[in-house]
Structure 1
Amino acid sequence: MKKFCLIVCLIAALSACQKKTDSAKMAASSSSSASTAAVAVEAGAATSTPSAENKVAPFDIQSVPVSTVKLPAYPYLDYPEKLEDGYRTDRKPRFDEVYLVVGKELRKVEGQLFVRNFPHTTVNMSALESQRNYENLIKSLGGVKVNQLMPADAEFKRLYPENNEILEKKMRVLGVNNGGANYQIFLVRTPQKNIWFGLSIYDDGRGTWLLTMEEKAFEQTVALTKAEAMAEGLQKAGEIALYLAFDTDSAVIKEESKPVVAEIAKLLNTDPSLRLKVEGHTDNQGSATHNKKLSESRAQAVVQALTAQGIEAKRLQAVGYGQDKPIDDNANEAGRSKNRRVMLVKAI
């Protein structure tokens, strides 16, 4: 009997141990599932920007041989000979920036930029014929293809998940998916400078996109608008237009425009009774909704820069009008550049 009781006790003890073990396993499993879920939520929240593992190493420009070919005049490449004048752009080369795919990196390059888009089909040229013509010309100048990705590639979209409209503006292409399927970037290194060429076929094989970027340092060509001149303009017209430089499709004020903001602060400090409405305006490139939001952000950036210099926020009002109030023709670049402005309007 005693032996039987001992066996029963042992069975009861083992059963209790098993229950504790099972409970511990269930708790650990639950904890692990919660951790996994937390990680999944965190990863989902970070999908709008590339994670650390998505970062790519910069392309080594020194790996491209220096070309000693005698170069023709800028922009180095011509239109097809029989292309009608109406398809030749009236835009002039200008100092600007563009984002180019170099290796797997989306690299910002500044210099003298010239972008052309034309229908090669109007001169009875196929997409392949246009592409091969320009590839051969660029290579004859010593050009080397340097992009390892195209904008339409899945890996590119993973690395650079910005929406297509923003990317198209930054990269100056006519379509990330359409024109990005055969996108090529070439580099010609000379002893004096780097010259970049972009080539792509867009519009279902009917058009050619051709970009020339001669890399060079910025040269100041506009004098600073002084506080006194601003005061005079406000006194006469009640408003003045300023052409501040911002990063592409961004509200970040570039370094070269910060002295102008300092002059606005000086103007406001000189006249403590002055109140200003800061208006942001854009050209008509892109959607009206996006342009309005961008113009508001840029006006707010100017206001924030002024308050950071000690100007009371109650003396300033930021408003964005987007493309709604042009002062020139948006049909050409000269007009569009005048429409991309910040207005200071004397407020009552």
Structure 2
Amino acid sequence: MGKAFKDVEGQTYMVTIIAPKSDDFSSYELQKNMHALFQQAGAVKVSEAKIPNETIDAIPDATRQELLMGLGDVWNSPAETWVVHRPTDEIWIHYATTTAQASLAVVETAAFVATAALLPPDQLKADLDRTGKAVIHVNFATDQTRVLPTSGAQMDAVIALLKADPSLRLAINGYTDDTGTDEHNLALSDGRAKAVLAALVAGGIGADRLQAKGYGRTNPVSTNVDEAGKAANRRVELIKL
């Protein structure tokens, strides 16, 4: 069953299910009916377990309050996760029940749209010459270290810069927003920085000219109160050595 957590973004529907009279509520009957509905929709169960408290507590308080209707009593009861895989998107289902009520959250993911703009070699060089630093625009799979193909042009631009100046050496620093635990963010940012290094080496750049390290949520360049701020903090910086 499920072995890791995944951030899912998209159109969301959340509801708490209760009976008109508490004596009429049957968690078993409702669960059987909900399972039938999920399966009819083509969903497969990917996990059924209690979510660790440390994972729940890592969710910002404001976000947790917004999700309360759909989360249910995940502090004390197990939750089920189901997913429907479709050609252009996915539907994720979170279902939790107690002896008194049930909670349902459904997220329909949106197709990925690249928002990062290409920083060309001349702009990279200008930034590095002026400040010793350049922020490159790299698209990663959500909560993963895999560099998406949409970042190919940006990787090519960095490779071209390094090939044009054989004496140039760079540090690749990875950063995240404040979502999740510090330990997770540190590992994620480090993996992403190393993934960029690997892409540059694959493009013909000597590994001895590069170093990579992740710094997690430290050194934010914006607030983390909205998606625009979080997106700015999720970044890869090139530092001239």
TM-score range, shorter chain: 0.5 to 0.7
Counterpart AA for 1:258 = G
Structure 1 position 282, deviation (Å):
0.9
Counterpart AA for 1:210 = A
Question: Does structure 2 conserve the Cα–Cα contact (< 8 Å) formed by 1:178 and 1:202?
Answer: no
Deviations 1:190-227 (A, max 9, x none): xxx777363534899899563332554x4555442211
Which of 88, 93, 114 is equivalent to 1:198?
A: 93
The answer to whether the aligner puts 1:295 opposite 2:189 as a matched pair is yes
Distance 1:304 1:174, change over 3 A: farther
Counterpart AA for 1:295 = S
Structure 1 position 153, deviation (Å):
5.3
For residues 33-112 of structure 1, what are the structure 2 equivalents within 5 Å?
none
The answer to whether the aligner puts 1:114 opposite 2:11 as a matched pair is yes
Distance 1:273 1:115, change over 3 A: farther
Which of 163, 185, 210 is equivalent to 1:316?
A: 210
The answer to whether the aligner puts 1:252 opposite 2:146 as a matched pair is yes
What TM-score comes out, normalization by structure 2 length? 0.65
Which of 203, 228, 231 is equivalent to 2:125?
A: 231
Q: Distance in 2 between matches of 1:150 and 1:331?
A: 31
Question: Does structure 2 conserve the Cα–Cα contact (< 8 Å) formed by 1:292 and 1:322?
Answer: yes
Q: Distance in 2 between matches of 1:265 and 1:149?
A: 43
Aligned to 1:305: 199
Q: Distance in 2 between matches of 1:294 and 1:237?
A: 26
Aligned to 1:67: none
Question: Does structure 1 conserve the Cα–Cα contact (< 8 Å) formed by 2:94 and 2:104?
Answer: yes
Aligned to 1:73: none
Residues matched between the structures, number: 207
Aligned to 2:105: 210
Which of the pair has the greater relative contact order for Cα pairs under 8 Å at 6+ separation? Answer: 2
Aligned to 1:325: 219
Identical columns (%): 28
Which of 134, 142, 157 is equivalent to 1:263?
A: 157
Question: Does structure 1 conserve the Cα–Cα contact (< 8 Å) formed by 2:171 and 2:239?
Answer: yes
Q: Distance in 2 between matches of 1:296 and 1:314?
A: 18
Aligned to 2:236: 342
Structure 1 position 334, deviation (Å):
2.0
Aligned to 1:22: none
The answer to whether the aligner puts 1:147 opposite 2:43 as a matched pair is yes
What TM-score comes out, normalization by structure 1 length? 0.47
Structure 1 position 144, deviation (Å):
4.7
Structure 1 position 244, deviation (Å):
1.2
Distance 1:174 1:325, change over 3 A: farther
Distance 1:268 1:287, change over 3 A: same
SS at match of 1:149: strand
Distance 1:153 1:214, change over 3 A: closer
Deviations 1:75-129 (A, max 9, x none): xxxxxxxxxxxxxxxxxxxxxx967xxxxxxxxxxxx7134779x69xxxx9x8x
Q: Distance in 2 between matches of 1:222 and 1:182?
A: 35
Distance 1:273 1:195, change over 3 A: closer
Residue ranges of structure 1 left out of the alignment (5+ in a row): 1-47, 50-96, 100-111, 155-163
Q: Distance in 1 between matches of 2:219 and 2:114?
A: 28
Counterpart AA for 1:152 = E
Distance 1:267 1:204, change over 3 A: farther
Structure 1 position 310, deviation (Å):
1.8
Aligned to 2:62: none
Q: Distance in 2 between matches of 1:338 and 1:205?
A: 43
Question: Does structure 2 conserve the Cα–Cα contact (< 8 Å) formed by 1:147 and 1:186?
Answer: yes
SS at match of 2:45: coil
Aligned to 1:284: 178
Q: Distance in 1 between matches of 2:81 and 2:188?
A: 30
Distance 1:270 1:221, change over 3 A: same
Residue ranges of structure 2 left out of the alignment (5+ in a row): 60-66
- Alpha carbon RMSD of aligned pairs, Å? 4.5
Deviations 1:46-79 (A, max 9, x none): xx99xxxxxxxxxxxxxxxxxxxxxxxxxxxxxx
Distance 1:117 1:296, change over 3 A: farther
